[in-house]
Amino acid sequence: MLHAAVLVLFPALMIFAAVSDLFTMTISNRVSIGLALIFIPLAYFSGMAPAEIAVDLAIGFAILVLTFGMFAFGWIGGGDAKLAAATAIWMGWDRLADYGLDAALAGGFLTLLILQLRRWPLPAWAHAVQWLPRLHDRNAGVPYGIALAAAGLFVYPDTRLWTVALGG
């Protein structure tokens, strides 16, 4: 049961966050809170030491402070800030740089793609799809949660929790 939870819960919440951000340009607080709260028992019952869990939670708090600074400057959305912090908890110190680099690369690619698509006129049929005009709007932001989720999913199999829980 523990193995299934480690395999399913983090990926499911990350995919939900990405899809939600794409369709609504918002990431529910429940996703970020759920990620943070689910990590604690999974890590504990997987055999991680309480001190390791505390360090991972402290990393998440540090990333929350950093990303809220970015939010205050208008560089990212509030949901992105919270998702990055919650994801950082799962990445741990040893994979945090990998996650940050992958998120930056995926985010850069996503941003360039969306900016390029916004240069072309939106086809008439696309106006009937509720989320496409919002995504196409040049004054709208970029659903960066997609990049954060993709990076988290890419790095997750290399994390300490994955290794401890699944013996990998």
Q: What local confidence, expressed as pLDDT, does residue 15 receive?
A: 98
Q: What percent of the chain has pLDDT over 70?
A: 99
Q: What are the tens digits of pLDDT across the range 46-79?
A: 889 999 999 999 999 999 999 999 999 998 999 9
- Alpha-carbon distance 107 to 145, whole Å? 9
Q: What percent of the chain has pLDDT over 90?
A: 77
- Alpha-carbon distance 42 to 69, whole Å? 30
Q: Residue 43: give the domain boundaries.
A: 2-166
How many domains does one find in the chain? 1
Question: Residue 131, Cβ neighbours under 10 Å: how many?
Answer: 13
- Alpha-carbon distance 106 to 88, whole Å? 16
Q: What are the tens digits of pLDDT across the range 40-55?
A: 999 999 889 999 999 9
Least Cα distance to 14 among 155, 162, 163, 148 occurs for: 148
pLDDT band at 168; cut points 50, 70, 90: low
pLDDT, greater one: 128 or 157: 157
